[in-house]
Each structure stands twice: as structure tokens, then as C-alpha cells.
Structure 1
Amino acid sequence: MTLDVSDSDHERVSQAIAAAETGSAGEIIAITADTSDAYHDVGLHYAVLALFLLLGAVSAWPGLLDQAYSALMGWSVGRPSARALMTLLLGLSLALFLIVLFALRWMPLRLALTPGATKTRRVRRRAIMLFRASAERRTAGRTGILIYLSMGEHRAEIVGDEAITAVTTPETWGEAMAALVTEVKAGRPADGIIAAIGLIGAVLAEHFPRDAADRNEIPDKLIEL
């Protein structure tokens, strides 16, 4: 699932960020991505698993290898030698490994077979990495906050700077996350981001009210990766 955001949506998100920041000293960054990781290791893990299942099946039922040899070579060749059977097993193992590995190069299948906990960890890791690169300690009051949406994994993260995490908990952002996810599921990702920005802005205004010395330290825009 890819993010469908028009130019007008970009403008709406920018306006929502600017509006949310008028009442607080916080700086909101919104970043979206198709996926947060390539998950190459997932394909490799499934290929290795298929290989072990094949070897396990042959170990449990050795006759399977004889049947496979007869099916491939024909019944008239007689009983195969141990070398022939081992060569066949090697060939079957390699073929199965490569078939699974190449099948899982198709990203939708790879994502579907990736455990949910793995996707959650990697989306969180990518969100933290992007936050550190784009917002962490880039504001005078340590009040930067990132809204990160990863469409392929159907997951989102909200990451705050030091001053924000000192007065909030992950539960603080539950309403903003719910608003974001609801709109994304309905096919309106930009509306979800805007709704989350408004709710986050309200929390920031409560804890970090804006004063005359505040200035816009991070551009108000949606970043698509």
C-alpha cells in the first residue's frame, strides 16, 4: 500500500502544522514512507526454513527420496546409488531454497509473511532514526516531535524530543494515533495526518505554550520518503 498524497494535501498538511505550532513552542515534523525496511532477511529466513523442512522430511521418510528419483529418472533405471540420491537431494535443496528466496522478492508477499512484532520493531527503529536526523535537539527547547507513517506495514509512530518525553507518556498520544490510523484505513492518509497534528498541537500547547521569543525552527511540510 503506497501513500497517495496530492499537492493540495501537502499544502493542507503544511497549514495544519503551522496552525498547531501557533499555540505552542513545539515543532512538528510529519514523515511518510512506503515501507520502513527491505526485510531481505525475512526472505532468507523462509528459504532456510524451507530447506530444513525438506531435509527433515527426507530424514523422517527416506523413501521419499527414492520416489522422487524414480519420478524424475523413470522406474527402468533400477535402484539408485547413494551418490545419486545425495546428488538429487542437493539439487532439490538448492532448487527449493532459490524458489522460496526469489518468490519472497515480491514485497507484498514478503510483508505478509513478516511477523507483526518484527514490523513494529523496524518501523519504530526507522522512526527514531529519522527523528534523530530531522528533529532531535534541533530546537532550542528540545520540543521537536515526529509523526511517522509507514504505509506498507500499516503502522505509525510518534517520537518526541527530550522536553516532550519528560512530561508525556506513549499513552498521551493514543487519541492522535487513533485519529491517524482511522483515516488511513479509510483511504484518507492526509486527513489522518492532519487530525493527528491537531491533537498533538493541543498537547504541546498545554505543556509548552508559545511565547514572543519563539520562532519556526523546522520547516512546516510533509516529507515523503
Structure 2
Amino acid sequence: MMERFFGEEARARVEAAVREAEARSAGQIVPVVVERSDGYPEARFRGALLAAALATALVLVLHVPLTLAELVLLQLGAGLAGALLALWDPVERLLAGRAERALATRDRALRAFHEHGLHRTAAGTGVLVFASLFERRAIVMGDHGIHARMGDEAWQRAVDALTAGMRRGDPAAGFCEAIALCGGKLAEHFPRGPDAPGNELADGLRTSRT
């Protein structure tokens, strides 16, 4: 999935968008994309449980004459089939649940914020632009120096642009649009002056499987 969406040309576009945005402000923007934020083992368990329950219900409704041993084997087979079906992305998303996916994405974004040093910029002006492809979710968050002035609402348009890019199958374009929007907001509140620090964090896109 990562190779499909983020080849050399796409990565270069995202990096150029970061350079352009940072040239107008004191912000330090770091774009990060992961294939998924969590493994969701509970999705396989739920898939197995639902499939076994459905098989049992069909046996009872249709009055299928099975011995106890045959019923157990049927439940085990159905459970295995349900667990395997839960490996399919659309089914896994459904079984994982919206709230669990949102929480996992938020937790992974917070980890990325610290992994990539956004909490260590000189003026607290680090901004994370984060996307998780499996969850189809995006998060934009700023360090204390920026967040105190802008808050969550200021980043929402960038989040919307990034998620729209993922929905239409072009997350790289979504990153570029989100970064440009962040750059505009940063230039408005934190214009780049002669005393602004140099480029503290690399501009390139960071990628990870999880």
C-alpha cells in the first residue's frame, strides 16, 4: 500500500510542499504516514464469534439434525472462516469499530509526534501532519508554542484536506493540500522573521508500516 501511494515522485511533492510552507513561517512541519495504527486483534475474535453464532443460529432455525460433536466442529469451522474474513480490510474496519480506530490513530499520532522530535523545537513550533491509511484518518497537531495560539479548530481544514485525499485514492495530494493550509495558518500567526531558527527537522515524508 505504501509503495502504491508514495513513490519517489509523490514523496518529492510532499517534501517540496513542506519546504514552501516553512519558508513563510517559523513552523517546523513534519509529514508522517503509517499503513495502520493498530493490528486490531479484537476484530478477528469478533469475526470468529459472530460467524460461530450465526452458524449455530442457522442450525437451530433450520432444525438441522446434528450431533453435539458435529455442532462443535461446525462452530469451529465457522469461527475460523469468520476470523479469516476479518483479515479483509473493509470487514476488519467494521469489526474494529469507529471509536477504536479513532483512538488507535490518535495514540499513534502522539507517538509519532515524539518519535520525530516535534516536541524539541527551539520555540515549540513543531507541527505534525499525520495520516493512517488503513483507518483513513488524519490528525494535525502542534507543539505548545503554536497550539496555545491556534488550538484544534485551526487545523481542521488541513485534516479535512488530507482525509479527502485518502478517500479519492491520492493521499500524497492530500498531504500537499494539508501542508499548504498549515503553512498559510502558520504564516498568519507565526510569520518567518530574520531571527527565526533554521530548519530544525528534515522536510521529507516519514513512512512506517505501523
TM-score (normalised: structure 2): 0.84
Matches of residues 27-176 of structure 1 in structure 2 within 5 Å? Answer: 27-53=28-54, 61=60, 64=63, 67-69=64-66, 85-176=67-158
| Separation (CA, whole Å) in 2 of partners of 1:102 and 1:6 | 30
CA contact (8 A) 2:15 2:203 kept: yes
Alpha-carbon distance in structure 1 between the residues aligned to 2:5 and 2:141? 23
How far apart, in 1, do the equivalents of 2:88 and 2:58 lie? 27
Paired-residue identity, %: 33
Paired position in structure 2 for 1:217:
200
CA distance in structure 2 between the partners assigned to 1:184 and 1:63 by the alignment:
44
Alignment deviations for residues 42-69 of structure 1 (CA, whole Å, 9 cap, x no partner): 11122123334555677xx4983xx332
User: Which position in structure 1 is the counterpart of 2:168?
Assistant: 186
After superposition, give the CA deviation of every residue in 1:156-206 in whole Å (9 maximum; x if it has no partner).
111221222212222211222232233333333222211111110121222
Amino acid in structure 2 at the alignment position of 1:68: P
CA RMSD of aligned residues (A): 2.5
Alignment partners' CA distance in 2, 1:219 and 1:11: 13
Contact residue 24 and residue 201 of structure 1 kept, 8 A: yes
Deviation at 1:87, TM superposition (A): 2.4
Contact 1:135-1:146 at 8 Å conserved across structures: no
Q: 5+ residue gaps in structure 2?
A: none
2:42–2:96 Cα contact (<8 Å) kept: no
Larger-gyration structure (1/2): 1
3-state SS of the aligned residue for 2:148? Answer: helix
* C-alpha distance after superposition, 1:13-41 (max 9, x if no partner): 21211121122221101011222222221
AA in 2 matched with 1:220: D
* 1:62-86 deviations in Å (ceiling 9; x for gaps): 983xx332xxxxxxxxxxxxxxx33
After TM superposition, the structure 1 stretch with the greater mean CA deviation from structure 2, 16-25 or 105-114, is: 105-114
Count, aligned residues: 206
